[in-house]
Amino acid sequence: MSNDNIKIISNPDEVQKISRKWKTEGLTIGLVPTMGYLHEGHQSLIHKSCAQNDRTIVSVFVNPIQFAPGEDLATYPRDLDADAALCASEGADILFHPQPSDMYGEYFSTHVEVDDITQVLCGKTRPTHFKGVTTVVSKLFNISKADRAYFGEKDAQQLAVIKRMVEDLNFDIEITGCPIVREADGLAKSSRNKYLNPEERKAALVLSRSLSIGKQLLDNGERNANVIRNSITQEIKKEQLAEIDYVSIVDSVTLKDVDEKITAPVLTAIAVKIGSTRLIDNFSYTV
């Protein structure tokens, strides 16, 4: 199946066969792993991959093993035709769209798990999430034979976990993080923004607004992490529709909490439920 000049393939073996052929021809391969319902954030990743590699594979796979019971696996937005059109417009070569049975056979029993940095931030309330992420990403790396893979910095913890896995397990692949893409009013692009009704969409601006307050404090010389964290928290609490999961300031590498003075690069990350929709946002800062 194809859309314009892009091949849509569901069989992992077929993608792997093509990738091997590309490698024997001396071509470089970029991989953009996604769960689909692509937006401008994903588009920026695809654009960068196509600019830096001879061939680009975009995976669209709503990965069931990274969802916990009660999460939005069944309702996660999907639109393969639109995804294919976007991939084709950027020049991607393959849209890899497997079914769960293609990725996880009847006797599937192997998982890849990163310790420590998966237990904080989103890992506190989604304890099985990153095990599903690292397992599927490992499979995608092996299937695609990619030289480089591209991830959005909005999912900062995911990016850190993938980088740790690649380093620890000697994956021969370069990981590139790409900047957060935002709406004109500051809301970080997310496939889950589709869930927001108009009132919730307006309320969701509290995420970027509160982070801007934290960044302004840092820009003005504030180095006490508790002061910054409390200021962000208080701003979020002003929004009645917002329910805080976490507001954290952590070391950029170890993801350990910074409780007092900020002396090294930090990640300020938040997770907030607006109505029933859980949204995340962050910024990095080097003092």
The pairing of strands 266-274 and 242-251 is antiparallel
The DSSP secondary structure of 183-240, one letter per residue, reads -TTSPBP-GGGGG--HHHHHHTHHHHHHHHHHHHHHHTT--BHHHHHHHHHHHHHT-T
Q: How many CB atoms lie within 10 A of CB 61?
A: 20
DSSP 8-state secondary structure symbol assigned to residue 259:
-
Contact status, residue 112 vs residue 73, Cβ threshold 8 Å:
no
Lateral strand order in the sheet of 277-285: 242-251, 266-274, 277-285
**Which residue out of 42, 47, 97, 129 is catalytically annotated?**
42
| 39 given a catalytic annotation | no
Tokens 């999961």 map to which residue? 245
DSSP 8-state secondary structure symbol assigned to residue 66:
G
Reported residue count of the chain is 287
Tokens 């370069």 map to which residue? 174
Q: Burial of 217 by CB count in 10 Å (0-12 exposed, 13-18 middle, 19+ buried)?
A: middle
Which residues are the active-site residues? 42
